[in-house]
A and B are shown apart, each in its own frame.
Chain A
Amino acid sequence: MGRRLCAALAAAAVGTSVLTACGSDDDGGVPLINLYNSPQQNMAAIVERCNEQAAGRYRIALNTLPRGADDQREQLVRRLAAADPGLDVLGLDVTWTAELAEAKWIREWTGRNAEEARKGTLVMPLDTAMWQGRLYGAPYNTNVQLLWYRSDLMPEAPATWDGLMKASALLAEQGKPHYGEVTGAQYEGIVVWFNSLVASAGGRILTPDGMRVDLGPPALKALEVMRAFATSKAADPSLSNTKEDDARLAVEAGRAAYEVNWPFVYASMASNKPDMIRDFRWAPYPGIDGPGRSPLGGANFAVSAYSAHPEASFQAALCLRDPESQRIAAVKDGLPPTIESVYDAEGMAKAYPMKRAILDALKTAAPRPKTPTYQNVSTVTAVTLSPPAAIDPPRTLSTLRGLISDALQSKGVLP
């Protein structure tokens, strides 16, 4: 009895593995396009729509990547580095373009496909898909950060970080909630904050070609602002533990008066705390001397260099990010579109009351530095800036210059 059970289990194991090996082949001549995308609730609906449109020219299979951006990147890179033909269309974070393009793991978009990808697409998101003048992806969605504040506590939103710190001090004196939430934990979020501060001060972290460090006087100013904010009344004691969701929760729980965050907080507030939504307003990202340059996020669709069906993959990617697909993603999943016309589509006004602010922010948004070693640069920057209250601007700046220089060469040890 035990022996028979063993045999059955073994047969099942072999059988399952054989079945799985067969599953990834094309069925009956229709090219199977494997899409790898980060988890998105309505992606399946978008894929279905595109499969209908494809009408037999190809069939898209949706494969989900892990929740965390770092985990997604690891999985993709591991398989691309092994020249795995099982990947076709990839949903990439905007910061991975340079890395994957330089390593020749994704294909360049040329000719008609490139034309289609560029048509009607907003400038800044399109730029995130380019590396050294070539297009490597079709922008899918974008994202900007805004200042979200409670108008019952702050009737006017200051335009600068200094103004915010003063407003917090005033609120603290009055004994009202006075924290300003910002992503200060040791991860990509703090790099995003620093990058926007540097850009708002008129500077850059790297030179435009991504080869050398550029941190100059604007960076010094940015560090000073960070330190000042982290040691002011505006700083939540958990600042060095705050990620996007913690910031959202702090405002919803009533502990904070304002936050800089992505627009998902608005929909969340509307559903979790409908009594607070009336006084929940938005304003442009704060800057140093005036309005600042908002962080730029988002995702692009790229085609793997090892795809067995490149042309079909390009077509599939174009459908997955065409205006209707972007509309679905925008209205149902809270992912702002990259094609300008979609902002006026049906359902957008209700889902995005702040769409004007988003479009304005997109005009001046600050993209993160483009370099194939962005992962390294981000890691060493996050470690150096953390915790923000311990920043000593001149010393931190020189540490940053040294570490980022090494990171660009992939020299040295990552923390």
Chain B
Amino acid sequence: MKARWTIINIIVTLYALIPVVWIASLSFKDPSTFTDGSFFPTKWTWKNYAGIFANDDFTRGLFNSIGIGLISTVIAILIGTMAAYAVARLRFPGRAAVLGFSLLISMFPQISLVTPLFQIERSLGLFNTWLGLILPYITFALPLTIFTLSNFFKEIPWDLEKAAKMDGATPMQAFRLVIAPLATPGVVTTAILAFIVCWNDFLFAISLTSSSAARTAPATISYFTGSSQFEDPTGSIAAAAVVITVPIVIFVLLFQRRIVSGLTSGAVKG
């Protein structure tokens, strides 16, 4: 039994990690050996990493990514939770409209929103600023947040809250001691999903910024150069890809238990 699970685990691990290991290995290859086509580097070097940190564009990009991502996620979760609670538990006219509009946003192609958004931001002075990226990121994280959280809130046994109140707890206490612990895993999961959406974005980062003041890390990759205008800076791109993956890996490592429990404990059996 154990052996079978070990083999299955190994297969799943290989599936998930082989492409990642390949990018990492590219990032450690000496540029002169790029064309030898081997999976692992024949000549190891830190040159590629040194290169991307040589000027502070990429570092600034990472800083922007983390800051903008965190702020967008926090705000999206705050207002998304409120909206999700309303949608899941309350009846009011406009409930369908909120859901419908969220669905509309998540379905409308983002490319067509870039140019009008650029024009609006430019006239408001938001172009190439943190706020200029935070607002669209919140907007595009909200549908995911509202849908996921409203599902979670539906699963929570609100009767427990009523029972706690009947036992003498104040509404605040009931919420804090009964509801919040049940809702937290779901909120954490959604926060991570929302952060990944913000971290991942490329289109808006490239179109709504013009300098390292607000450009995020994925967009900075387009600005790397090789030693001539025709060369793809393979090493730099690979190194940058590894660096922007590391925070996510750490995130996932730390919160993996929460993510999974968030998805499974929200479902109450019986």
Contacts and interface: CB of A to CB of B under 8 A. Distances in A.
Interface of A: 6, 9-10, 12-14, 16-17, 20-21, 23, 38-39, 41, 63-68, 71, 75, 78-79, 82, 84, 86, 243-245, 248-249, 253, 262, 264, 267-268, 272, 334
B126 to A, nearest CB: 7
B9 interface: no
A84 B129 contact: no
Contacts of B122: 79, 82, 84
Contacts of B230: 243-245, 248, 262, 264
A111 B206 CA distance: 38
A334 B230 CA distance: 12
Given A39-B225, A82-B118, 20 more contacts: A6-B74, A9-B70, A13-B71, A17-B130, A17-B214, A20-B128, A20-B130, A39-B229, A41-B225, A63-B210, A63-B211, A67-B222, A67-B224, A67-B229, A71-B222, A75-B207, A79-B122, A264-B228, A264-B230, A267-B228
A291 B23 CA distance: 44
B136 interface: no
28 contacts: A9-B74, A10-B71, A12-B67, A13-B68, A13-B71, A13-B131, A17-B130, A17-B132, A20-B128, A20-B130, A39-B229, A41-B225, A68-B222, A71-B206, A75-B206, A75-B207, A78-B115, A78-B207, A79-B122, A79-B210, A84-B127, A86-B210, A244-B230, A245-B232, A248-B230, A253-B35, A264-B230, A334-B228
Interface in B220-243: 222-233
Contacts of A78: 115, 118, 207
Nearest to A75: B210
B115 A249 contact: no
Given A14-B131, A68-B222, A78-B207, A245 B213 contact: no
Contacts of B247: none
B130 A21 contact: no
A23 B233 CA distance: 30
Given A14-B131, A268-B227, A272-B32, A23 B222 contact: no
Nearest to A72: B222
The CB with the most chain B CB atoms within 10 A, among A20, A23, A267, is that of A20
Given A17-B126, A20-B214, A63-B211, A9 B35 contact: no
Nearest to B126: A17
A240 to B, nearest CB: 18
Nearest to B125: A21
Contacts of B213: 16, 20, 23
Q: Closest 9 A-B residue pairs measured CB to CB?
A: A17-B129, A244-B230, A39-B225, A66-B222, A264-B228, A20-B213, A245-B230, A17-B131, A13-B130
Contacts of B128: 20
B224 A21 contact: no
Given A13-B71, A253-B35, A20 B129 contact: yes
A391 to B, nearest CB: 25
Contacts of A264: 228-230
A330 to B, nearest CB: 13
B231 to A, nearest CB: 5
A41 B227 CA distance: 8
B206 to A, nearest CB: 7
A65 B129 CA distance: 17
Given A9-B71, A14-B131, A66-B222, A268 B228 contact: yes
Nearest to A9: B71
Nearest to A84: B122
A64 B210 CA distance: 9
Contacts of B132: 17
A245 B119 contact: no
B70 A249 contact: no
Interface string B10-54: 000000000000000000000010010000000000000000000
Interface string B188-231: 00000000000000000011001101100000001111111111
A334 B74 CA distance: 48
Interface in B168-206: 206
Nearest to B227: A268
Contacts of B68: 13
Contact of A67 (B70, B211, B225): B225
B149 interface: no
Nearest to B36: A253
A197 to B, nearest CB: 21
